[in-house]
Amino acid sequence: MGARRGRATRATLTPGPDQSHGGAEHFRSWARRRGYWFCRVSDVREIMRPVPLLGEGEDQVWGLCDANHRESHEFLPA
């Protein structure tokens, strides 16, 4: 079993309530500051799924998507 994360641990891909609110531009600003990409055919929702785009390890580039569409992803810088 893995170790449980304490409340002080910050999520790397999902903003907590103290980092973001439901406003689309606020979320995109949060993502942009962290170098994430955003799927153009998705909307900002409570749960955004991380999608690995390029690289690996420390150099991994991530895209964020709500996964509520059937079209192919279209990632752009947040």
Summarised one tens digit per residue, pLDDT across range 14-66 is: 655 555 566 788 888 989 999 999 999 998 887 889 999 988 888 899 999 99
Judge whether 65 lies within some domain.
Answer: yes
Asked whether the predicted pLDDT for residue 77 surpasses 80, the reply is yes
The span from the CA of 58 to the CA of 18, in Å, is 25
The span from the CA of 32 to the CA of 36, in Å, is 6
Judge whether 62 lies within some domain.
Answer: yes
Q: pTM of the full predicted structure?
A: 0.70
Confidence (pLDDT) at 24:
85
Judge whether 13 lies within some domain.
Answer: no
Judge whether 42 lies within some domain.
Answer: yes
Confidence (pLDDT) at 62:
93
Q: What is the domain extent for residue 73? A: 36-77
Q: How many domains does the chain have?
A: 1
Q: Which of 35, 37, 43 is nearest to 67 (CA)?
A: 43
